[in-house]
Each structure stands twice: as structure tokens, then as C-alpha cells.
């Protein structure tokens, strides 16, 4: 299999499908966790978070619920991916700090491995490689197409200006 010069490893169709699948799985896990908090109600989530020593558990319960629920859905869709990736990673950093920092590594012992994997995955999928199959790409496509046409037209005009023949005139002065 040969590679073309200048081809990026993250531009192929296969890579975009894999990134889409990763966004759907990671975002789906966040949606499930957010729905779990929403389903038990803000009072139950507030009580749980207060027991962990989280300041302002009333606000934290709502923020945690909506960041995971809405953020997970937006990550799945690839909408506002950079912002969502950072928010979900920050949410998981808080979860690790308040709920899992004194426990073992493994999730079956209350460990931090799942929260760390989800946070880093959200950060990577949001900032580094969300792929081309995103709503962000779909919504910005007309603007990118217009900019590409303008750039091509400017290149043609510059090329035409360079192709103009230079005419030299001889001037003879008579005294």
C-alpha cells in the first residue's frame, strides 16, 4: 500500500469512521452517566456529591448532570467538539479528585481508571481528532467551500498577472 506525499494519516475514510465510532461510544457513556444522575434526581445527586465533600453540591449536581448528559450528546454529534472535550475532561478530573483519588486504580474497587480513560478520550476526541463526520464540519462546510473558491480565484488572478508579457519601449532622444 503506497502513501501519497503530503497525505495525513488522519484524513482517510477509515480513520473518520473509527473516530465517529469512538465519539459515539465515549459520548454514549457520558450520556448514560448523566442520565443516571438525572434519573435519580438532583436531590439524590446533591446528597451523593455533598457526601464526597464537593463544595456547593446543589450547583455541582446540576452542572455534573448536564455536562455529562448534554456534553456526551454533543460529543456524539461532533458539535462544539473542542469546548465539549475540555468540559468533559474537566468533569472527569473533578470526579477523580473528589471521588477516586484515595482508592485503588481499578474501577471494581472504586478506582479512577474509568474516569481517567473517559476524560482523556473526551479531550483527544474534542481537541485533537474529532474526525470529518461531525456536525461542526457539516455546518461550516459552506463557509469553507466559499473560502476555497475565493482562494482559487485569487491564485488564478495572480497567475494571470504574472503571465502578462512585459513590453519594453525604446525611447530615442534627439538633441
Per-residue pLDDT of the chain in tens (175 residues, 90 and over written 9): 444 444 555 568 888 899 999 999 999 999 999 999 999 888 988 898 888 888 899 999 999 999 999 999 999 999 999 999 999 999 999 999 988 887 788 887 888 999 999 999 999 999 988 888 888 888 887 777 777 788 888 888 888 777 666 667 777 777 6
80 conformational bin, left if phi > 0, alpha if psi -120 to 50, beta if neither: left
pTM: 0.74
| Cell matching residue 73 | 450528546
Residue 1 pLDDT = 41
Rounded CA separation 174/32 (Å): 93
Residue 174 pLDDT = 76
| Cell matching residue 55 | 463544595
DSSP letter (8 states) at residue 108: G
| C-beta separation of 24 from 135 below 8 A | no
Rounded CA separation 30/25 (Å): 9
Domain ranges across the chain: 13-162
Residue 10 pLDDT = 55
Phi, psi of 169 (to 5 degrees): -110, 140
Amino acid at each position: 500500500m503506497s502513501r501519497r506525499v503530503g497525505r495525513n494519516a488522519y484524513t482517510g475514510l477509515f480513520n473518520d469512521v473509527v473516530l465517529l465510532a469512538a465519539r459515539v461510544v465515549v459520548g454514549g457513556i457520558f450520556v448514560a452517566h448523566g442520565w443516571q444522575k438525572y434519573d435519580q434526581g438532583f436531590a439524590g445527586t446533591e446528597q451523593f456529591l455533598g457526601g464526597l465533600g464537593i463544595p456547593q453540591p446543589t450547583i455541582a449536581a446540576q452542572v455534573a448532570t448536564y455536562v455529562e448528559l448534554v456534553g456526551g450528546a454533543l460529543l456524539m454529534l461532533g458539535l462544539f467538539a473542542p469546548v465539549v472535550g475540555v468540559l468533559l475532561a474537566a468533569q472527569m478530573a473533578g470526579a477523580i479528585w473528589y471521588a477516586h483519588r484515595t482508592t485503588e486504580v481499578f474501577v471494581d474497587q472504586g478506582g479512577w481508571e474509568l474516569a481517567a480513560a473517559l476524560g482523556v478520550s473526551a479531550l483527544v476526541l474534542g481537541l485533537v481528532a474529532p474526525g470529518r463526520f461531525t456536525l461542526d464540519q457539516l455546518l461550516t462546510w459552506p463557509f469553507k467551500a466559499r473560502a476555497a473558491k475565493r482562494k482559487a480565484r485569487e491564485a488564478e488572478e495572480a497567475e494571470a498577472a504574472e503571465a502578462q508579457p512585459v513590453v519594453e519601449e525604446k525611447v530615442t532622444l534627439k538633441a
